[in-house]
Amino acid sequence: MGLVTPNPGTIFWMVIIFGIVLFILRKFAWKPILNALKDREESIASALNLAEEAKKEVAGLKAENEKVMADARREKEIILKEARKIKDKIIAEAKQKANLETQKAIESARVQIQNEKTSAVNDIKKQVAELSLLIAEKVVKKELSSKSEQEKLVDGLIDDIKLN
Amino acid sequence: MWALVKHFRTMLKLSVRILLIFILGLAVSFEVKASKENEPLHSDSLIKEEFNTGRFIIEHVMDSYDWHVVSLGTTHISIPLPIILYSKNPDLHGGKNFHVFMSNKFNHAHNDYRGFRISHSHENDGKIVELDQHGNEIGKPLDFSITKVVAGIFFSALLLVVMLTHVVRKLNKNKGKAPKGIQNLLEPVVLFIRDQIAKPAIGEKKYEKFMPFLLTMFFFILINNLMGLIPFPPFGANVTGNIAVTMVLALFTFFVTSINGNKHYWKEIYNPDVPWWLKFPVPLMPIVEFSGVITKPFVLMVRLFANMLAGHMIVTVFISLIFIFASLYGPLAGLAVSPVSILFSVFILLLDVLVSLIQSYVFTLLSAIYFGMATAEHH
């Protein structure tokens, strides 16, 4: 039964060869190969992670951009509103000022007119007085040219006094 | 479930093997009948070496001292291999203990040399024996010859180392780039062994320690299986169909398992958790457990050996059908049968390629499972 009885010589050589092959391959083949495979797997995994992170970052940036845009829009709105308010205020103020100014002008005009009027009236009064005096002078001159008239006047004056 | 499928597959394979061995037996009996019927014709007209199917097949799967290339008629062309012997009786062999010479000194087992002979006796057929002064066989010397199988192992080991170191060199040159060439062939297999065999069987934490062993085991068996299928030197030695080779492989697995076995593993063998009366007066369970420890490598050894041997045998059987028919019904019948028999041989060879892969996978997987059992944590 040579087929099923192990031959000692073959066992001897097989142990030696397999042992050596195991040693050599372990050191020079499997360790580098397994390490290389592991390294590659790790690098692929990290690359995928990086891509994922980059994707997330891009999404974040986009959101941020949108936020910034929205902010800007809101700010614009606010600024516009404020500007409108200011404009309105300025206009209102201007109107008020103008009104005031007009009022003042009218008032001063009125005062001036009043003054003018007063002075004019005074003037007229003065002139009237002067004129009256002139007339009175002329009348008196004319009236008191006769004696009778002078007596009449004195009588009249005395009457008046009497009345008092 | 998986184990069941595997068992079924093994059974199926076994039954196919039995059928084919039956065919082999039939062929042998045909041959015997043929030689009997044709005896009167043969004995005086055509003197040829009688075609002996059994011997033909056994010679093809057995180890031998020289590497047979081809036989043309009665001239055998073969590659001589070194014979290394150690004898305890130096006086019978020219006063030396150690003897190293080439196997062609024996002239295909026809001559004796330095008091050694390739025996033809029933007991030591094909082995080298020592002779005393009168030419009687007195026993076997220590035989460390580089036989066909050993030469085959040497060759495939060399090929394996050269191939893998080449891959490593390429790997270093190709660092950070996509793999190419033979690297692409190797890497998926390495990954398969790592991710489909080692990780599930041993576990994520401890598998790394066993990877070099499992990979070496797988590729060593695979390369030798495939080499054995190529039918000319330096290939074609029936390495993995040799029981000594599979025994050493199985023993390596056994030793690695035993060395790495943790406390829990050994406790389960010598002091398993069973009722005390199964352990105390008669250590029944320890015996059963221990036989399991022995059976595991034994099964590994036999499975690989039987599968590869059977594969080689079947191919040889189909080829020898040509000669059987030729000797039964004349050369024309042999010629007529040859297409069928070649077709079958090719089919079986292709099947053997598959079996080579499966057997190296199974051996590696079972080794990994044993390692996993030896290092499993108690829970």
A22/B143 touch (CB, cutoff 8 Å), yes or no: no
Contacts of A44 in chain B (CB under 8 A): none
Residues of A with CB under 8 A from a CB of B: 2-15, 17-18, 20-22, 24-26, 28-34, 36-37, 43
The yes-or-no verdict on residue B69 having pLDDT over 50 is yes
A21/B175 touch (CB, cutoff 8 Å), yes or no: no
Domain residue ranges in chain A: 62-163
Render pLDDT for A96-149 as a digit per residue (tens, 0 to 9): 999 998 999 899 888 988 888 888 888 888 888 888 888 888 877 777 777 887
Q: What are phi and psi of B74, to 5 degrees?
A: -105, 0
Q: Give the closest of A8, A25, A32 to B161, CB-based.
A: A25
What is the number of other CB atoms lying within 10 angstroms of the CB of residue B307? 25
Render pLDDT for B296-344 as a digit per residue (tens, 0 to 9): 999 999 999 999 999 888 888 888 888 888 888 888 888 888 888 989 9
Stretch among B124-128, B291-295, B360-364 having the lowest mean pLDDT: B124-128
Contacts of A29 in chain B (CB under 8 A): 161, 164-165, 167-168
CA-based nearest distance A72→chain B, Å: 47
| Helical residues (DSSP H) of B100-147, grouped into ranges | none
Q: What is the pLDDT of residue B50?
A: 59
A2/B127 touch (CB, cutoff 8 Å), yes or no: yes
CA-based nearest distance A49→chain B, Å: 18
Q: Tokens 């934490």 sit at which residue?
A: B205
Q: What is the pLDDT of residue B5?
A: 52
Q: Give the closest of A7, A26, A43 to B212, CB-based.
A: A26
What is the layout of strands, in order, in the sheet containing B116-118? B116-118, B128-131, B137-139
Query: Chain-wide mean pLDDT for chain B?
Result: 81
Query: What are the beta bridge partners of residue B70?
Result: B77
Render pLDDT for A15-73 as a digit per residue (tens, 0 to 9): 999 999 999 999 888 998 888 888 888 989 999 999 999 999 999 999 999 999 999 99
Q: What is the pLDDT of residue B336?
A: 87
Q: What is the pLDDT of residue B28?
A: 45
Two tokens, residue A161: 């006094």
Q: What is the pLDDT of residue B26?
A: 46
Find all residues with CB under 8 Å of B60, minimum gap 6, and list them: B238, B312, B313, B316
Q: Which residue of B has its CA nearest to A36?
A: B171
Q: Is this structure's pTM higher than 0.90?
A: no
The yes-or-no verdict on residue B14 having pLDDT over 70 is no
Q: What is the pLDDT of residue B70?
A: 79
Two tokens, residue B330: 């004349």
Question: Which tops the pLDDT comparison, B183 or A64?
Answer: A64
The confidence band for B372, taking pLDDT boundaries of 50, 70 and 90, is: very high
Q: What is the pLDDT of residue B46?
A: 41
B212/A4 touch (CB, cutoff 8 Å), yes or no: no
Compute the distance between CA of residue B227 and CA of residue B69 in angstroms, rounded to an integer.
15
Q: Tell me which H or E stretch contains B66.
A: strand B66-72
Contacts of B125 in chain A (CB under 8 A): 2
The confidence band for A152, taking pLDDT boundaries of 50, 70 and 90, is: confident
* ipTM of the complex as predicted: 0.80
Contacts of B211 in chain A (CB under 8 A): 30, 34
A7/B63 touch (CB, cutoff 8 Å), yes or no: yes
The residue count of chain B comes to: 379
Give the residue from B374, B220, B190, B153 showing the smallest Cα distance to A31. Answer: B190
Average pLDDT over residues B7-13: 57
Give the residue from A145, A43, A73 showing the smallest Cα distance to B178. Answer: A43
Q: What is the pLDDT of residue B6?
A: 56
